[in-house]
Amino acid sequence: MTLLASGPLIDWEWIGEHLDVIRAATVEHLQLTAIAVGIGFALSMALALLALQWRWSYPLLAGFCSVLYSIPSLALFGILVPITGLGTVPAVIALVGYTLLILLRNIVAGIEGVPAPVREAADGMGFEHWRRLARVDLPLALPAIIAGLRIATVTTIGLVTITAYVGLGGYGDLIREGLRRQSAPQASTLVILGTGLSVVMAVVFDLLFVGVEHLATPWARRPRLAPIEPMEPVPVAAIPAGGSLSDG
Q: How many domains in the chain?
A: 1
CATH code assigned at 155: 1.10.3720.10
- pLDDT at position 1 is 38
Summarize the confidence of residues 75-94 as an average pLDDT: 88
For 131, the domain range is: 12-220
Confidence tier at 240 by pLDDT (50, 70, 90)? low
Summarised one tens digit per residue, pLDDT across range 24-50 is 999 999 999 999 999 999 999 999 999
Q: Up-side HSE of residue 41: CA atoms within 13 Å toward CB?
A: 16
Residue 208 lies in a domain: yes
In angstroms, the CA 209 to CA 146 distance is: 7
- pLDDT at position 222 is 59
Query: CA of 44: how far to CAs of 32, 92, 109, 181, in Å?
Result: 18, 15, 12, 40
Summarize the confidence of residues 218-243 as an average pLDDT: 55
Residue 90 lies in a domain: yes
In angstroms, the CA 96 to CA 68 distance is: 10
Residue 233 lies in a domain: no
Residue 243 lies in a domain: no
In angstroms, the CA 100 to CA 148 distance is: 10
Residue 72 lies in a domain: yes
Summarize the confidence of residues 114-128 as an average pLDDT: 78
Summarised one tens digit per residue, pLDDT across range 74-84 is 888 888 888 88
Residue 86 has pLDDT above 50, yes or no: yes
Residue 6 lies in a domain: no
Residue 226 lies in a domain: no
| Cβ contact 213:143 at 8 Å | yes
| Mean pLDDT score across all residues of the chain | 83
